[in-house]
Amino acid sequence: MDIGIPKERRPDENRVALTPTGVGELTEHGHRVYVETQAGAGSGYTDEQYTAVGGHLVYTPEEAWGRGELVIKVSRPMPHELDNLFAGQILAGFLHLAAGKRQKIQSIQEIQATALAWEMVQTENAELPVLGAMSEIAGRLALQIAARLLENQFGGKGTLLGGAPGVPPAEVAIIGAGMAGANAARAFTGVGATVYILDKDLRNLRRVEQACRSHIVTMMSTPSNLRKVLSFADVVIGAVQVTGVRSPVVVTREMVRSMKPRSVIIDYSIDQGGCFETSRPTTLHRPTYIEEGVIHWCVPNVTGAVSRSATHVFTNATLPYLHAIADRGLDAALALHPELDRGIVIHQGEIRHPVLKNLVGQSDQPNQSKDEVA
């Protein structure tokens, strides 16, 4: 199979779809992998490393897209990138179509291409093998982000997360006890912060409590409990994720207004629209803004800040599925991996996901949501 790896073009996106080792594994199976020049530079990989394992360099995005029966990306494509799609082509990436512009769905549909959304790949027991792997990194990264934003030179209140003798630690509230929230909880408890985690699922709360050896406060996610913890929290992390749909807004502007000045909000749900009413997408280069006196950090490609580690994790998570598609063909791969079938949201122009069908039906209506991302 011919596989294309274009250079990512979103602002501050340093990740790449495959490491040179991953490309080498595919070429060893007889597949041709076309890598756009400098695609791996942001993650520390040179063009020579890709050619050394059998990759073919191409010098324009049009060629990287045009040569691939399967095109592999990390972040969702920019609108103009979809002009390179052709009928029968497979596009794989974190597509987040439910939170994006409706025209993207229509473009893929009209071209009769196939869209494989990695965030939708889900096992029978509701595990997310690709998204979950990246969420582990995001959760652990939350500690570094919060610690920096609490420092005075970044506009914070000057609070040390772990406290000091005679000085209490910072109070951190995490909304959502999934993979990102659980990993964030472990990181924050590890440095001595006082951590509250809220979720609607008691099973998730039990798992986090066990993982943190009870050094954590677990609470049911209700409006009353959210108001309570937001009123005193120094850091609030939104890690609400509902597979395949826009993230629900669980924190209202009124709740944000009740927070202490110069507190910190980190919205990890922003790639699916955000779970705070006051959230809007930012970039790694300009990650923050102030709203209602509170620092907001709302970067969709959060793991792009640690691109080399993220690229390794992404390659490890996706390579078994890429092997199956390239070696056996898409239909056989879907039969072999039922979880992969759940990630096919559009197949040869046919929209398979009910939420996307509904969105296309609404696309002609005026006043689309301001929360849509490109």
Catalytic positions, written as ranges? 96, 271
Which one, of 256, 304, 259, lies nearest residue 282 by Cα? 304
- Whole-angstrom CA distances from 239 to 142, 161, 182 are 11, 19, 9
- Whole-angstrom CA distances from 26 to 34, 47, 53, 64, 223 are 11, 17, 9, 16, 49
Between CA 15 and CA 305 the distance in angstroms is 9
DSSP state of 89: -
Residue environment code for 118-142, b if the CB has 16+ CB neighbours within 10 A, otherwise e: bbbbbeeeeebbbbbbbbbbbbbbb
Q: Within 10 A of 48 (CB to CB), how many other CB atoms are there? A: 9
Between CA 173 and CA 181 the distance in angstroms is 10
Rg (CA), the chain: 21
* Residue-wise DSSP of 121-161: ---TTS--TTHHHHHHHHHHHHHHHHHHHTSGGGTS----T
- Helix H segments across 212-351? 223-230, 253-257, 307-328, 330-336, 338-341
Q: Is the dihedral of CA 104, 109, 114, 119 positive or negative?
A: positive
